[in-house]
A and B are shown apart, each in its own frame.
Chain A
Amino acid sequence: MLLFRSEEWVDKWCKRNNLERGEMLSLQQVWELSKLWYGNRMSLEYHGRSMEQVADIFKQTGLNAKFWYA
């Protein structure tokens, strides 16, 4: 996942690499996702997560497009 100044620079990168554009999220959206995804990563009790838990995190972050389905 890469950082871009704007949508225009994403399109330039995609064109240069001959890749389709994926999903673009704002920093705020990714920060909210990060807190849910990584918030318990340092814990001894963290043993990974199920597909249902992944889907729940995406849902809580408002990521409902098919792109985010397992």
Chain B
Amino acid sequence: MDDNLVWQARHFVYSHIAETTRPPRVNETAAHFGISIEEATELYKELHNHHALFLDTDEMAIRMANPFSGIPTDFKVHANGKTYFANCAWDMLGIPAALHCDAVIDAVCTESNDKIQLEIKNGEINHSPVTNHQLLIHFPLPFAQWYDDLVFT
């Protein structure tokens, strides 16, 4: 497989998400590069094997292109006039970091279900006062296990 094409496909996936908020379907990637759906599917599988994206292999759809999620989640990131979904609490901050932009983030405390709004402005992070609690992001697994079960991680 053409390694250059693999990385061009990765770049196309990310550019497509930035523009539309959703990952391209395999037929859209095939059309963009003028290749067959089977060839585009192989590109997706190759990127999945590189951990460059995470496929729902049953649907052959992009489930994650971190920090972006291919499906709705509890982590909404409003940026550049669009609303993106992040995979997790880390990735909700990853989206403005990746796009190098300001953002307003709507999230929830996983256990209390309290709504929490964060703002990234001029490279600084602020959050709405949810009483005086110290907001935290919990990493349940050590780095060495992150890719064993990416959805759980």
Contact = CB atoms under 8 A, between A and B. Distances in A.
Interface of A: 1-7, 9-10, 12-13, 16, 19, 21-28, 30-31, 33-35, 37-39, 41-44, 46-48, 54, 58, 66-70
Interface stretch (B20-28, B32-40, B134-142): B134-142
B51 interface: yes
B144 A69 contact: yes
Contacts of A67: 139, 142-143
B111 to A, nearest CB: 4
Contact of B89 (A1, A9, A28, A35): A1
10 contacts: A1-B139, A3-B107, A3-B109, A22-B140, A22-B141, A24-B139, A25-B136, A30-B93, A31-B125, A42-B14
User: What is the interface residue range for chain B against chain A?
Assistant: 35 or more
B104 interface: no
A5 B133 contact: yes
B118 A27 contact: yes
Given A4-B110, A9-B109, A22-B140, 16 more contacts: A1-B137, A4-B109, A4-B111, A10-B136, A13-B110, A23-B142, A24-B136, A24-B139, A27-B136, A30-B89, A31-B93, A38-B67, A41-B94, A42-B99, A67-B139, A68-B142
